[in-house]
Amino acid sequence: MLQSLQVARALAAGGVAAFHLSIMMGEDRYGGREMFAAYTSRGYLGVDFFFVLSGFIILFAHAAQIEKPGAWRDYLKRRFVRLYPVYWLYTGVFVALLAVAGGTDATVPSGFVDWLGSWTLVRFSEVIPPLPVAWSLFHEIAFYAMFLVLMVNRRAGIAAFVIWALLCVVFYHPLAERPPTPWNTYTGASNLWFFFGMGACLLYWRMASGWWATVVGLAIVGVAAAVNMEHRLWPLLLVTGFALAVAGIAKLEDARWFSCPRWLVYMGNASYSIYLTHESLAGLLLKITMKTRLFAWMGGEAVYLLVLPATLALGCLAYACVERPLLRWLGDARRGPAGKTKPAF
């Protein structure tokens, strides 16, 4: 696996955690003032970045296996093991703690259909899962399902992707549309970001140098993130920048223009655990600072600068102590094709 992709996952997870911590500290129970909001207000874009990365990574890892006999079973096992067991475990622990202690705004599904959707990550209803950040996984599962069709049959898979893309373009439901329904989830604009990621992977395989894509991509991201554009097509510009930057930086890594810091690579490996646990861990740490009056003594800014790295560190600890051992026990879902083979599309 390209290490730059893991660094990108680390940055995305860190951005989302920073954004959510600012929002949480704006609640009355945590001081009532959003800390560093001017710097973290775009952190939510980490989820969009995750979708682009997912499109790149899935094609990068599995393209050479498309239509190979039995390869779809290996793909299905890898995706299942990589996503569900850890999610189920963290959700189960969170629901158990919620039942015992409470003290959170999170909700528990109320009926069979809601529970079914929360555990399968298939959108049957308007349910908000116990781990609210898991909303993005409904989109991930849809993408994995579409790619499974491609693994079985190239023509059918391409047709399925084209139909899905057309539906998302025509209806283009914005992420902010609430409540989430099966219709606006599976025809939402965010699903298009996976296509940008796959396009980035194809570009990575075909371009000779990564410099132009890196420079242009980062410039687009910088401008798009700095300008407060409310137009509904604004995310398309931003995601184009993400895709170009990912492809370019991956190509530069191939050419050995840089090496990735090991701690960021490790944090990227832990990004799934960080993403699933960061809200719960940040809330717990904020409660501790309030109960011990550390918040009043240090001030909100200092508490933020303490809680954010602590949250990320605890997410890495959860990866080391829970996710990684569980994946090893179930079979290392991340060990697989190097992705260097260029498939014939």
Tell me the per-residue pLDDT of 19-67, one tens digit each, with 9 for 90 and over. 999 999 999 999 899 999 989 989 999 999 999 999 999 999 999 999 9
For residues 86 and 322, give the distance between their C-alpha atoms in angstroms, rounded to a whole number: 8
CA distances from 12 to 42, 109, 265 (A): 11, 28, 12
User: Residue 337 in contact with residue 64, Cβ under 8 Å?
Assistant: yes
Has residue 345 got a pLDDT over 80? no
Residue 179: asked if its preceding bond is cis (omega within 30°), the reply is yes
- The SS3 assignment for 188 reads strand
| Model pLDDT for residues 96-112, shown as the tens digit of each residue | 888 776 666 667 888 89
For residues 246 and 213, give the distance between their C-alpha atoms in angstroms, rounded to a whole number: 8
Q: Is residue 338 part of a domain?
A: no
For residues 10 and 8, give the distance between their C-alpha atoms in angstroms, rounded to a whole number: 5
Comparison of pLDDT for 332 and 278, the residue scoring more: 278
| Model pLDDT for residues 288-332, shown as the tens digit of each residue | 999 999 999 999 999 999 999 999 999 999 999 999 999 999 986
Q: Is residue 8 part of a domain?
A: yes
Domain containing 142: what range?
A: 3-330
For position 342, what pLDDT does the model report? 58
For position 337, what pLDDT does the model report? 41
* Contacts for 246 with CB less than 8 Å, ≥ 6 apart: 5, 8, 52, 53, 56, 197, 200, 204, 217
For residues 150 and 55, give the distance between their C-alpha atoms in angstroms, rounded to a whole number: 13
Look up tokens 């202690």; give the residue: 101
Direct distance between the N- and C-terminal alpha carbons of the chain, in angstroms, rounded to an integer: 21
Q: Is residue 344 part of a domain?
A: no
For position 102, what pLDDT does the model report? 63
Q: Is residue 23 part of a domain?
A: yes
Residue of 133, 103, 108, 131 whose CA lies nearest to 288: 103
For residues 238 and 88, give the distance between their C-alpha atoms in angstroms, rounded to a whole number: 32
Kindly report the pTM of this predicted structure: 0.93
Q: Is residue 336 part of a domain?
A: no
Instruction: Report angle CA 243, 236, 145 to the nearest 5 degrees.
Output: 70
User: Residue 238 in contact with residue 221, Cβ under 8 Å?
Assistant: yes
Has residue 151 got a pLDDT over 90? yes
What is Dmax (Cα atoms) for the chain? 64
User: Residue 52 in contact with residue 196, Cβ under 8 Å?
Assistant: yes
Q: Is residue 283 part of a domain?
A: yes
The radius of gyration of the chain's CA atoms, rounded to the nearest angstrom, is 20
CA distances from 162 to 83, 118, 167 (A): 25, 28, 9
User: Residue 197 in contact with residue 52, Cβ under 8 Å?
Assistant: yes
Q: Is residue 337 part of a domain?
A: no
Mean pLDDT computed over every residue of the chain: 91
**Residue 344: pLDDT band by 50, 70, 90 thresholds?**
very low
Look up tokens 């003032």; give the residue: 33
Q: Which two tokens stand for residue 185?
A: 């989830």
Q: Is residue 135 part of a domain?
A: yes
Mean pLDDT computed over 274-282: 97
Report how many domains make up the chain.
Answer: 1
For residues 162 and 146, give the distance between their C-alpha atoms in angstroms, rounded to a whole number: 10
Look up tokens 């139909």; give the residue: 163
